[in-house]
């Protein structure tokens, strides 16, 4: 990864995190103000202040140096001495329902922001393709369930799958389950039928495998031709004399019918000469290509030619544009956000139960790479990424760990039952244990990030 890529990822990460932290903390801030709580400081980031301003409301608004969180400091007798004339504005003196609402407002703001982000995405429109199955591997889980080429996925366990992104997310949510019920239509037929996939033997590693491949499903894609459409400057193909639109006919006198055969021949012959027979402007010509040596991340050595084939266009009937009017987009955005909430909650639950391994946890480095990649693709993709991370942030903050919003809500729930606040000693112990668990999880996530570099 070059320096420019690192800087781009870092900048995108800071922008994304800053937006999501501001949204989360504004949720606490807005509801606190509506409940009559005096807010002393609204801070985005921790540490030394880079910018600060005191508003007419008396609140200090701060942008701090470390952009890994934020906080809303409210008047509270448990923290500072509060003048008698301001006691009614202290957080601890508010009714239980108001304190609960203030704490819950942060995660709720994250969910609302996700709906807003998807609403904008659906207003702008995002190109996609219908989830039509191309091939099914013999004896695979999909094949045994009666899935065949040409079928279109309509829903998975009740979740509608308008495109492959939705289908992938719905399938991933079934990690650790015994079965998956999918609804499909037959080729050239709108009649929907259900198929049940037996997942008892399913093995899936999200970090190294594609969920579709492990089930034996290959999405439909346009045919890859044998004609050259791209040549890399300084690559082995240009050195050998390849030209655009050349059609590969044979390699070492062996007829070629599929592009995969070209890939296999090049990869398996690093720094070894190969004789290519080409069709060029109606004439047959021969060139000698010596693939350059390329080292992969796993230290495997392969050949690299520096050319790419022409791919046939997608049939128009397979292409869709997920674009809706202002009213309809609200429903679609809400539906999408709810799918993310249920998927994320399900994955967190499976992490706790052990159905999903801790090695699948991702930390700030993975988030930074995702932010940079989606920002590079364009606004709609970056907004979709923000929505995904916002939902994750909301769910994580609702976990019943005392250092998180969910821990405070847990204490409030106990208070509602016992009619008295949880003792300071118990709360302090809970904060220590919760902090230790959170630090351990962050350490695991960071370790996973570094192993993926």
| Tens of pLDDT, residue by residue, the chain (453 residues) | 456 666 766 677 777 888 888 999 999 999 999 999 999 888 988 888 888 888 888 888 998 887 777 888 898 888 788 888 888 888 888 999 999 999 999 999 999 999 999 999 999 998 888 999 989 999 999 999 999 999 999 999 888 888 888 888 888 888 778 899 999 998 877 888 999 999 988 877 666 678 888 899 988 889 899 999 999 998 999 999 999 999 999 999 999 999 999 999 999 999 999 999 999 999 999 999 999 998 876 678 889 999 999 999 888 888 888 889 999 999 999 998 988 888 877 777 766 665 555 455 444 444 444 444 444 456 788 888 888 888 888 888 888 888 788 888 998 898 899 988 888 788 778 778 766 776 666 665 555 544 544
Using alpha carbons only, give the angle 402, 406, 409 rounded to the nearest 5 degrees.
Answer: 90
Q: CA 163 to CA 322: how far, in whole Å?
A: 9
Q: CA 84 to CA 272: how far, in whole Å?
A: 86
Return the bridge partners of 127, or none: 321
Q: Which of 25, 60, 281, 316 is catalytic?
A: 25
For residue 25, indicate whether it is catalytic.
Answer: yes
Q: Which fold has domain 126-222+313-322?
A: Pdz3 Domain (2.30.42)
Q: CA 292 to CA 290: how far, in whole Å?
A: 6
What superfamily does domain 224-312 belong to in CATH?
A: PDZ domain (2.30.42.10)
Q: Could you tell me the maximum CA-CA distance found in the chain, to the nearest angstrom?
A: 96
Q: Quick check: do 126-222+313-322 and 224-312 share a fold? A: yes
- Pairing verdict, β 301-304 and 292-295: antiparallel
- Pairing verdict, β 126-129 and 292-295: unpaired
Helix ranges restricted to H, 356-401: 364-377, 379-397
Domain residue extents for the chain: 38-92, 126-222+313-322, 224-312
């Amino acid at each position: 990864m070059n320096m420019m890529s690192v800087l781009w990822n870092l900048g995108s990460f800071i922008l994304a995190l800053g937006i999501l932290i501001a949204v989360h903390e504004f949720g606490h801030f807005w509801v606190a103000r509506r409940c009559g709580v005096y807010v002393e400081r609204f801070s985005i980031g921790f540490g030394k202040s880079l910018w600060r301003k005191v508003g007419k409301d008396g609140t200090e608004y701060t942008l701090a140096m470390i952009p890994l969180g934020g906080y809303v400091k409210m008047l509270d007798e448990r923290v500072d001495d509060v003048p008698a004339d301001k006691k009614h504005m202290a957080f601890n003196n508010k009714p239980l329902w108001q304190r609960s609402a203030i704490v819950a407002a942060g995660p709720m703001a994250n969910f609302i922001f996700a709906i807003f982000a998807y609403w904008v995405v659906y207003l702008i429109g995002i190109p996609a393709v219908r989830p039509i199955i191309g091939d099914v591997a013999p004896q695979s889980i999909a094949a045994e369930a009666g899935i065949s080429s040409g079928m279109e996925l309509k829903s998975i366990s009740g979740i509608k799958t308008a495109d492959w992104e939705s289908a992938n997310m719905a399938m991933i949510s079934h990690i650790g389950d015994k079965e998956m019920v999918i609804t499909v239509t037959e080729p050239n037929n709108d009649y929907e039928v259900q198929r049940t996939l037996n997942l008892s033997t399913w093995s899936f590693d999200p970090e190294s495998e594609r969920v579709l491949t492990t089930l034996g499903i290959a999405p439909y894609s346009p045919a890859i031709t044998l004609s050259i459409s791209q040549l890399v400057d300084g690559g082995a193909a240009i050195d050998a004399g390849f030209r655009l639109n050349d059609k590969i006919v044979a390699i070492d006198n062996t007829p070629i019918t599929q592009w995969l055969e070209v890939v296999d021949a090049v990869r398996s012959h690093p720094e070894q000469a190969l004789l290519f027979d080409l069709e060029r402007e109606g004439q047959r010509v021969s060139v000698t290509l010596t693939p350059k040596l390329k080292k992969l991340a796993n230290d495997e050595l392969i050949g690299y030619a520096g050319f790419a084939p022409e791919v046939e266009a997608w049939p128009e009937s397979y292409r869709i544009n997920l674009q809706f009017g202002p009213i309809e987009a609200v429903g679609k955005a809400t539906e999408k956000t709810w799918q993310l909430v249920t998927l994320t909650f399900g994955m967190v639950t499976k992490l706790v139960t052990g159905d999903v391994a801790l090695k699948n946890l991702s930390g700030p480095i993975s988030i930074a790479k995702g932010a940079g990649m989606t920002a590079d693709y364009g606004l709609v993709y970056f907004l979709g990424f923000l929505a995904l991370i916002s939902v994750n942030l909301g769910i994580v903050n609702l976990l019943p760990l005392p250092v998180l919003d969910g821990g405070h809500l847990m204490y409030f729930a106990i208070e509602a039952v016992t009619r008295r606040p949880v003792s300071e000693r118990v709360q302090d112990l809970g904060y220590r244990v919760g902090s230790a668990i959170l630090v351990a999880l962050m350490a695991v996530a960071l370790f996973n990030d570094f192993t993926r570099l």
